[in-house]
Amino acid sequence: MRPRPRAAEPYRNPNLPRPVGPHSVRPKKTASFSEILGLIPMAKRPRISCWLPWEVPEVYLFTLCQKNRCALLANHAFADALEIVLTMADHWDHEAWVIMPDHLHLLAGPKRREYRVSEWSRFVKVMTRRLCPGIGEWQPGIFDHLLRSADSGEARWNYLRNNPVRAGLVQHWWEWPYFGGTIKRQAILAARSAALQNP
């Protein structure tokens, strides 16, 4: 006579006491997606994978903010420290950046797809505070936008460079001293020449 197969052990939450009695079996509960996420230790929501084809390079618009919006960034000490840190992070291409009093905008992209935004962000935050201790604590996380085309990149560069103008800090974008990157160096002479020709 064949032995009867053993019944599967009923669902039991390990954080609750074991039920007592032969008929005290708790009904199985299906965990929701939000409950599953709550069991995973993480600082923020998991990132969505890049959907671009492998042959298309990634370019992001990043925004890093000072905690409590402390206006401590727009100075030469932080600008020098940032340039050193971005040079150290040579596995990324840093096309352009602008330092505002309480936040930082950058156009950047990894040289290889496996380089992660979270690792880049952590490196920049830790190293800038180490080289320039006069700045405040960075706000947790990072705002990022994946550019979808060359036109999008040009539009984002126009948005980025005109931040000081919109904030009323300067009249022309090239007058703001806290810029950097390859796009800025290529465009600034042309912008100045056009403004001189068409005041």
Q: Is-contact 126 81, C-beta < 8 A?
A: no
Residues facing 104 on adjacent strands:
64, 99
Assess if residue 44 is contained within a domain. no
Asked if pLDDT for residue 19 goes beyond 60, the answer is no
pLDDT for position 112 = 84
Asked if pLDDT for residue 141 goes beyond 50, the answer is yes
Number of domains in the chain: 1
Assess if residue 28 is contained within a domain. no
Q: Is-contact 134 72, C-beta < 8 A?
A: yes
Taking the CA of residue 131 as centre, how many other CA atoms within 13 Å lie in the half-sphere pointing to its CB?
Answer: 19
**3-class SS at 60?**
strand
Assess if residue 6 is contained within a domain. no
**3-class SS at 61?**
strand
In this structure, what CATH number is given to the domain that contains residue 134? 3.30.70.1290
From residue 6, alpha-carbon distances to 3, 28, 90 in Å are: 9, 18, 59
Residues 13-23 as b or e (16 or more Cβ within 10 Å = b): eeeeeeeeeee
pLDDT for position 83 = 93
pLDDT for position 32 = 40
Asked if pLDDT for residue 52 goes beyond 80, the answer is no
What is the distance between the alpha carbons of residues 147 and 164, in angstroms, rounded to a whole number?
22
Q: Is-contact 124 85, C-beta < 8 A?
A: yes
Question: Domain range for residue 91?
Answer: 60-197
What is the distance between the alpha carbons of residues 98 and 115, in angstroms, rounded to a whole number?
23
Assess if residue 49 is contained within a domain. no
Assess if residue 41 is contained within a domain. no
Assess if residue 54 is contained within a domain. no
Assess if residue 171 is contained within a domain. yes
The pTM assigned to this predicted structure is 0.66
What are the DSSP calls for 27-51, one per residue?
A: PP-PPPHHHHHHHS--SSPPPPPP-
How does pLDDT run across 73-113, given as a tens digit for each residue?
999 999 999 999 999 998 998 988 999 999 999 989 888 87
Highest-pLDDT range among 3-17, 32-46, 50-64, 136-150: 136-150
Assess if residue 2 is contained within a domain. no
